[in-house]
Chain A
C-alpha cells in the first residue's frame, strides 16, 4: 500500500480498537472498527510492516503500537480533544 493512501485517523481507530478489545481476528477487527474487510486487511498489513501490530491467527497490538497510540492520544489531548 502506498504511504499516501494511509489515513492517520483509520490507523488511530484500528490501534484504539485493538487496545480496547485485545487481540482479535481480522474479521472482528473490521467489524469493531467499522471498516470494509478489504480495507481493514490492507491497513493491518501496513501496520504489521511498521511493527505496530503482530499478525498470526489474530491481530495483536505490539509495544510500539501501544506507544504510538499513546503518543496520538497525548497530541489530541494537547489540542483540546
Chain B
C-alpha cells in the first residue's frame, strides 16, 4: 500500500509543483493581481496531493481480493519499478521528519530571528536525525531488499 501511495504522491506532487511554478512565473511576467490570489490559494493546498495519493492508493488496492493477489500485485510492482518500493517507508519517514523539524524550527523564530540560522539548524538536525534513522532501519532495509530480489525472481519465473 505504501509503495502505491508513494508512487502516486510522487506523480501528483510533480504536477502540483509544475502548476504552482507556472502560475508563479506567469504572475512575475504579467504582474496580474488575480494570479497572485491563485498562487496563494494553490500554495495553501500543498497537502491535497498527499491526500489524493492516499485515496488513489486505497482505491487501487480495494480491487485486490486476498493476500495471494496482493503478493502478485507487489511482485509486478517491484518488477516494473525496481528499488522504488524498498525505501518507500524510509522516504515517508524522512518527509515526516522534515515536516516536524520545519515546524519546530519555525516555532523557534522568537529565539532565532535570523532566517539563515534557522535554516542551518533545520538542515543540521535533519542530517543528524536522518542518518540516525537510516542506521536504525538498515536491517529492515536489508530484509526488504532480499524480499525484493525474491519477488523479482518469482515474477521472472512466471513471465518466462
| A residues adjacent to B (C-beta < 8 A) | 4, 7-9, 12-13, 34, 68, 71-72, 75-76, 78-79, 81
Contact = CB atoms under 8 A, between A and B. Distances in A.
Contacts, number: 40
B154 A79 contact: yes
A75 B156 CA distance: 10
A22 B158 CA distance: 23
A71 B71 contact: no
Interface of B: 64-65, 67-73, 75-76, 80, 150-151, 154-155, 157-158
A13 B69 contact: yes
B76 A7 contact: yes
A8 B154 contact: no
A44 to B, nearest CB: 18
A12 B65 CA distance: 12
Nearest to B76: A8
A49 B80 CA distance: 22
Contacts of B150: 79
11 contacts: A7-B73, A8-B155, A9-B64, A9-B70, A71-B157, A71-B158, A72-B72, A75-B157, A75-B158, A76-B71, A81-B67
A12 B72 contact: yes
The 7 closest A-B pairs by CB, nearest first: A9-B69, A9-B72, A75-B154, A8-B76, A8-B72, A9-B73, A81-B68
Given A9-B64, A9-B69, A12-B69, A78 B76 contact: no
Contacts of B72: 8-9, 12, 72, 76
Nearest to A13: B69
